[in-house]
Amino acid sequence: MTFATRSRERSSFLDSYARSRPDFVLVATYIAISLLGLLMIYSATAPGLEARGLDPTRELKAQALFVLVGFVVFAVSSTLDLTEIRRFVGPIYIASTLLLVVVLTGLGDSEGVAQRWIDLGPVQFQPSEIAKIAVILMLASLLARAAVPLTWTTVARAIMVVAIPAALIFLQPDLGTMLVFAFVLLAVLFVAGVTMRQLGFLGVATILGTVGIFQLNLIKSYQIDRLTAFIDPGSHELTLSYNQVQSEIAIGSGGLVGKGLFEGSQTNLQFVPVQSSDFIFTAVGEQFGFIGSVVVIGLFSILLFRLLSISVAAKDRFSFLVTAGIASMFAFHIFVNIGMTIRIMPVTGLPLPFMSAGGTVFVAMSAALGLAHSVWIHRKEPAGDR
């Protein structure tokens, strides 16, 4: 497969924007999901805040600010030309890996048991979010150069690229995010041309690796508990699995059409903790029922469909792999997060893209989406177009 090469003339911002049509569907979906997210955050937090005599829109406003920033970031990254970014991939990757190390060394801020944040005065941000993008870029860059079908050496290198940051993240410890990397690696390798035999080998290696982790007690017992508790809450119902069980009850009791906005007794009376972030989907399920759940999943499906379409239309192999990586990253988040709220996945702390409250996450994901969008904007022109 040959790729058309573009000239290296400098394009102005406006020029490039005018040359390709933006992906309206993607943008519309992105905005819709983000606004829905804001609505849900408000509905989940307002009653509680009001009951305590505080400003009910507090959380809403905070997130709205991040949403705005995210929109801007999205727009800006949409204009970037990936091929030009490509030469910065190496430094970006190294920088983000260093930041991960920084987090571990105690300059990081720990919240709960895990060290994930870096406090920069008025702003806190999570290096792991940036690492996700950096790793996708690095991985894509590596594999774009490689011959197809992939050699074992290439596969090994790909694994290394992912493994280092993944390990650092695992040590935070943030098991859930680490798994994102694993999934993304597998998906990207797959579309990049990995052979079935290599894939099989990776599968076996994963299993052995998991077993090894258990045997060497690298994984703590509470982590194991968290991973398995979703299967049978039982004795954990009042403690470890409390959130999940409450979420399950809330969503289930939503019925077909839901209880109505602000009428979710579980969510509004605060039976489901951490509602505005990890369990934001719960609010949807309870207040808008099955219909609402399907609408949200549908919106995400459209988003993913667009991302995959964009990847196929990419102008070069690098862009293609980056977009595929971004798509699989989003897919994993969505599936695991919603799965967690309905108790078919363990509690992992992975946020729901563009709906879960959280600044770094929204902005980082907006940047990633923006990059994918830019691939579309700078796509190769099909013969006959224009």
Partner 1 sequence: MTSPLRVGILGLVMIGLFSILGIRLWTMQVTEAQAYDERAEDNQVRVVLTPAPRGDIYDSNGVKLAGTRSALAAVIDLALIDEDEREPLSQNLAAFLDESATDIEELLSATNRGSQITVATDITDAQATFLLEHREMFPGVNVIPQPVRTYPEGEVGAHVIGYIGKPTQEDLDERDDINGEDVLGKAGVERAYDVALQGIPGVVEYKVDAKRKVLSLENEVAPSAGGSLILTIDSEVQSQLQVSLQNGLMQARRLEMEERRLAVEEQSRSQRVAEALSEARAEALEKALEEKAALDAAAEAGESTTTTRPDDGERRIGPVEVDETEVLASLYTGLPIDADGICVPVQRVTIPRGGSATVTGIEPRLARYESVAQFGGELAADVIVEGKSYRVKEGERFAGTLRVLEISEDQLILNHSDTWCPVRAVGVVLNPDDGSVIAMSSYPTFDPSAFVDGLSNEQWTSLGTVSAFTNFAVQGQYAPASTFKTVPYVLALEESFYPIDRGVGDKEIGQEPTSGSTSTTIPDGDTSTTVLDDATPEDPEDVVLKPLTSDRDEYSCTGEFRFRLNDGSFQTKRDWKWPGGHGPLDLHGALQASCDLYFWDVALRLWNERGDDSGIDKENLLQEYARGFGFGTTTGIDLPFEREGLIPDRAWFIAEQREGSPRVRQDGSWVGGDLMDVAVGQGAVLATPLQMANGLAAMVNGGTVWQPQVVRKVVDQDGNVITENQPTIINEMDISPRTTALLLADLRQVVNNQERGTARSAFADFGRGVYLVGGKTGTGEIIKAPRSERFRQVDSAFFVGVVPVSDPEYVISVVIERGGSGGRVAAPVARQVFQFLLNGPDGVTPIAPGLDAD
Q: Is 320 in the site for partner 1 (CB under 8 A)?
A: yes
Strands (E), the chain: 108-111, 114-120, 123-125
Candidates 159, 219, 253, 380; binder of partner 1 (CB under 8 A) is: 253
Instruction: Name the maximum alpha-carbon separation found in the chain.
Output: 65
Q: Is 189 left (phi over 0), alpha (psi -120 to 50) or beta?
A: alpha
Residue 228 — φ and ψ, nearest 5°?
-100, -15
| Alpha helix ranges (H) inside 8-88 | 13-19, 24-51, 58-79, 82-85
The 10 Å Cβ neighbour count of residue 208 is: 10
Q: Is 342 in the site for partner 1 (CB under 8 A)?
A: yes
Candidates 169, 175, 327, 377; binder of partner 1 (CB under 8 A) is: 327
Q: Is 251 in the site for partner 1 (CB under 8 A)?
A: yes
Candidates 29, 198, 244, 246; binder of partner 1 (CB under 8 A) is: 246
Stretch that binds partner 1, among 114-122, 174-182, 190-198, 201-209 (CB under 8 A): 190-198
Residue 125's beta-bridge partner residues?
A: 118
Nearest distance, CB of residue 173 and partner 1, angstroms: 25
Candidates 270, 274, 295, 302; binder of partner 1 (CB under 8 A) is: 270
Rounded Cα–Cα distance for residues 316 and 141 (Å): 11
End-to-end CA separation in angstroms for the chain: 23
Nearest distance, CB of residue 51 and partner 1, angstroms: 8
Candidates 65, 98, 204, 269; binder of partner 1 (CB under 8 A) is: 269
Determine contact, residues 97/131, Cβ cutoff 8 Å: yes
Classified as helix, coil or strand, 31 is helix
Nearest distance, CB of residue 9 and partner 1, angstroms: 28
Determine contact, residues 236/351, Cβ cutoff 8 Å: no
Q: Is 242 in the site for partner 1 (CB under 8 A)?
A: no
Candidates 17, 190, 201, 262; binder of partner 1 (CB under 8 A) is: 190
Candidates 238, 382, 385, 386; binder of partner 1 (CB under 8 A) is: 238
Nearest distance, CB of residue 255 and partner 1, angstroms: 4
Q: Is 54 left (phi over 0), alpha (psi -120 to 50) or beta?
A: beta
Stretch that binds partner 1, among 65-73, 114-122, 151-159, 293-301 (CB under 8 A): 293-301
Residue 205's contacts (CB-CB under 8 Å, 6 or more residues apart) are none
Whether omega for the bond prior to residue 173 falls within 30 degrees of 0, making it cis, is: yes
Nearest distance, CB of residue 272 and partner 1, angstroms: 8
Q: Is 255 in the site for partner 1 (CB under 8 A)?
A: yes
Nearest distance, CB of residue 369 and partner 1, angstroms: 16
Residues of this chain that bind partner 1 (CB under 8 A): 1, 187, 190-191, 193, 238, 246, 248-256, 265-266, 269-271, 285, 289-290, 293-294, 297, 300-301, 304-305, 308, 311-312, 320, 324, 327-328, 331, 334-335, 338-339, 342, 344
